[in-house]
Chains A and B, each alone.
Chain A
Amino acid sequence: MTSNNRIFSLVVPVISVILGLIVGAIIMAVSGHNPMEAYAALWRGAFGDSFTIGETVRRITPLILTGLAIAFAFRTGLFNIGAEGQVIVGWLAAVWVGLVIDAPMIIHLPLAVLAGAIAGGLWGFIPGILKAKLGVHEVIVTIMMNYIAMFVTNEIIRSVLTDHKTTTDKIAGSASLGSEWLQSITFYSRMHYGILIALFAAIIMWFIIQRTTLGYELKAVGFNRHASKYAGMSVSKSIILSMVIAGGFAGLAGAMEGLGTYGSISVMSGFTNLGFDGIAVALLGANNPFGVVIAAILFGVLKEGAGEMPTGAGVPTELVDIIIAIIIFFVASSYIIRWALLRMKKEGK
């Protein structure tokens, strides 16, 4: 049974990606574009040379973290739609520390990264405590928290961090995750050391969930809240902690953007979509930390590579969006397929 399940979770995502690519190819062929050439461009756009590889890694980094943020909360049975807002406050806090504090790198950089995580955690704490103490549904609260995060951040950038400008100054070099060495080997891509932090975070999530009492309790609450309570666990503590840790992961994703990719923060006219893509990443990764890493790689590759399709293969941008959406659709429905098949199995018994 267990090994069956493993093969299962291996085959389903692969099939759904292939299905997505095939349907995308059919649509391109029907509309008069060469799918082979388009996918070649997609490949080139993601892995064509050291620059694009660097940019792909750069794009994967925050996706891993937002994927973890959603997967972690989901383990406790919480649907964290608020990763988006947690990313934004984490970004703001990291850049703020990067701008204001003057310290050697060994203190400054960890402090800035930590600030991002704490801000994200705080943003997760509010829906967590509302859920735990008052039973307010976390989906509603986190969605609203996204808007609060975006508009408050915009206002802080405009009136506190700058004098009515749209972008802050660059953070001090001692808080930057960027490296000239990485830039020189990837031809000036924006790849930065954040990928190491993201991978480390995945290990941390695995450790918490699989190897600690806390993780056991969180999972137990996710499986059955009432049974956990009966067993003497504190359900509300688990819910709050789960949201805080999840928010911390998302806050880290924001810190990656602020300290690595951009080195600053700009007024946002819309969401970053990192948090929303994180939902799909977590679903595809089956809420498993290492699955999340793989899913984030897949998403990053697709999104980065797609940029090459209009200029490289003449596929219109709109069509590229459709193809990416179809691939994501199949990838996301793998979750449904798996669920349905498992249901059938259970009933068959």
Chain B
Amino acid sequence: MKKLSFLLVLILGLGLVLAACGGGDDKDSKDNGKEDNAGDNATSEEASDFSVAMVTDIGGVDDKSFNQSAWEGIKAFGEANGLSKGNGFDYAQSNDKSEYVPNLTRLVRDEYSLIFGIGFELKEDLQTIADQYSDTNFAIVDDVVEAPNAASITFKEHEGSFLVGVAAALKTKTNKLGFVGGMDSPLINKFEAGFIAGAKSINPDIEIDVKYAEHFGDATKGKTIAATMYDSGIDIIYHAAGGTGNGVFNQAKDIKQNDPEREIWVIGVDRDQHEEGQIGDHNVTLTSMIKRVDVAVQDVSTMALNGEFPAGEQLEFGIEDNGIGFATTNKEAMTEEIINTVNEWQEKILNGEIEVPSTRDELKEFEAAL
């Protein structure tokens, strides 16, 4: 009995503390957030009732990869329309899977007009929420939801991966390539299939080692896998592993620092990862498979603003929409010759001459036809 009363007092005490904190005056601080956009308000009256927000996946908004890219897209859209963070656009960060639903619901209740879910992990939760709140528009990146108020944004990552695969096959000296994936999932398999198809189109005998880290944020693991691959004679690694890929860059840079003569490369993903590869005067980033999540997010937001939200539709961004591409920032490594060849293959994809495989089964057929 005494125990029980102890617990009761504990709850009451905690409640009291929190309540006391909650009751304070919050009038002055409320204004803080609004100050910076006060000037813009006049110019953007037509947009004032439109607002857009996104929920990140576990990677977080500064993952140097696609969450960040999506957020850049929303920021660019907001700034072009005179909105500011917290007043017109915002994001909610998820630290674990269970936070997707509360985050999505929170944004619905803050009355955002359009809410993006970034990443395939949000698929189920976004589907549920979209069914519950039919008055709000939703969009998911990297997967498909079926709801009359939701749009699905996917990319033809296999096409971009094909192009960097071509570049890798042209650049390699050892004829051994590596692929490091985040999670063994249908999405990342698209990268894998495209990359292998691209490399084998140039040289059918090329060896490609495929490893999955089972994690999108474990740089240590990325480094270990990269170390094993480079030790076995692989000279180019393509990573599709988000934060885990940072470990691949670290390992490549370490090797390069100890042995500047050795030619090893990393191929980046999602954004142009040129900066990640800089070590002294060298840069180990050969190229990057660029996936313009920002372009897609911005496009869809603009459509929604103009009242043309593609509700219930599935949008697939590819090379032709500028949604997918490859980076040519590293001029020394990506020679004129390589770029020209890659461009030739890009033409072949665009005019339908080749169909890039997007699953392991399609890849088998593709390889058999070579």
Contacts and interface: CB of A to CB of B under 8 A. Distances in A.
Interface of A: 3, 6, 9-10, 13-14, 17-18, 21, 25, 33-37, 39-40, 42-44, 51-52, 55, 59, 151, 154, 158, 164-167, 188, 190, 261-262, 264, 266-267, 269-270, 272-273, 288, 290-291, 293-294, 297-298, 301, 304, 307-308, 310-311, 313-314, 317, 321
Given A21-B21, A36-B24, A307-B99, 16 more contacts: A25-B21, A33-B29, A34-B32, A36-B29, A37-B29, A39-B21, A43-B22, A154-B214, A167-B124, A267-B185, A270-B96, A297-B11, A307-B92, A310-B93, A311-B110, A317-B93
Interface string B1-36: 011101101110110011101111110111011000
Interface stretch (B100-108, B153-161, B311-319, B320-328): B100-108
B55 to A, nearest CB: 10
A39 B18 contact: yes
Contacts of B32: 34, 314
A306 B14 CA distance: 15
Interface in B95-138: 95-99, 101-103, 105-107, 109-110, 120-121, 123-124, 132
Size class of the contact patch on chain B: 35 or more
A311 B89 CA distance: 10
Given A10-B9, A34-B26, A317-B93, A269 B21 contact: no
Given A37-B29, A294-B7, A269 B103 contact: no
A117 to B, nearest CB: 21
Contacts of A317: 60-61, 93, 95
B294 interface: no
A306 B189 CA distance: 36
Nearest to A56: B102
A18 B14 CA distance: 8
A98 to B, nearest CB: 15
A307 B107 CA distance: 11
Contact of B14 (A14, A51, A321): A14
Contacts of B97: 266, 272
A267 B110 contact: no
Interface of B: 2-4, 6-7, 9-11, 13-14, 17-19, 21-26, 28-30, 32-33, 58, 60-61, 86, 90, 92-93, 95-99, 101-103, 105-107, 109-110, 120-121, 123-124, 132, 182-186, 189, 214-218
Contacts of A17: 13-14, 17
20 contacts: A9-B6, A17-B17, A21-B18, A33-B29, A39-B18, A40-B21, A154-B214, A166-B185, A167-B124, A188-B105, A266-B124, A267-B184, A269-B215, A293-B7, A294-B10, A297-B11, A304-B102, A307-B106, A310-B93, A311-B106
Contact of B217 (A6, A269, A272, A291): A269
Given A14-B13, A269-B214, A291 B7 contact: yes
Nearest to A308: B106
A164 B21 contact: no
Contacts of A262: 124
A30 to B, nearest CB: 15
A21 B98 CA distance: 24
Contacts of B218: 270
Q: Main SS of the interface on chain A?
A: helix
Given A261-B98, A311-B106, A321-B95, A290 B26 contact: no
Give 10 nearest A-B pairs by CB, closest first. Answer: A36-B24, A34-B29, A39-B21, A37-B26, A40-B22, A43-B22, A317-B93, A10-B6, A14-B13, A166-B185
Nearest to B29: A34
Contacts of A266: 97, 121, 124
A2 B131 CA distance: 56
A158 B189 CA distance: 13
A6 B5 CA distance: 10
Contacts of A297: 11
A21 B19 CA distance: 12
B84 to A, nearest CB: 12
Contacts of A293: 7
Contact of A37 (B11, B24, B90): B24
B115 to A, nearest CB: 12
Contacts of A14: 9-10, 13-14
A108 to B, nearest CB: 22
B21 A294 contact: no
A26 to B, nearest CB: 13
Contact of B215 (A13, A270, A310): A270
Contact of A42 (B13, B18, B25): B18
A14 B13 CA distance: 7
A158 B23 CA distance: 50
B184 to A, nearest CB: 7
Contacts of B123: 167
B186 A164 contact: yes
Nearest to A291: B7
A138 B18 CA distance: 39
Contacts of A291: 3, 7
Contacts of B96: 270, 272-273
B124 A264 contact: yes
A36 B25 contact: yes
A34 B98 CA distance: 28
Contacts of A269: 58, 182-183, 214-217
Contacts of A273: 96
Contacts of B107: 311
A13 B186 contact: no
A3 B3 CA distance: 11
Nearest to A3: B2
A43 B21 contact: yes
B361 to A, nearest CB: 10
A37 B25 CA distance: 8
A158 B106 CA distance: 32
A301 B123 CA distance: 26
A53 to B, nearest CB: 12
Contact of B101 (A37, A55, A166): A55
B129 to A, nearest CB: 8
Q: Which of B3, B19, B92, B218 has the most CB of A within 10 A?
A: B3
Contacts of B185: 165-166, 267
A304 B102 CA distance: 8
B14 to A, nearest CB: 6
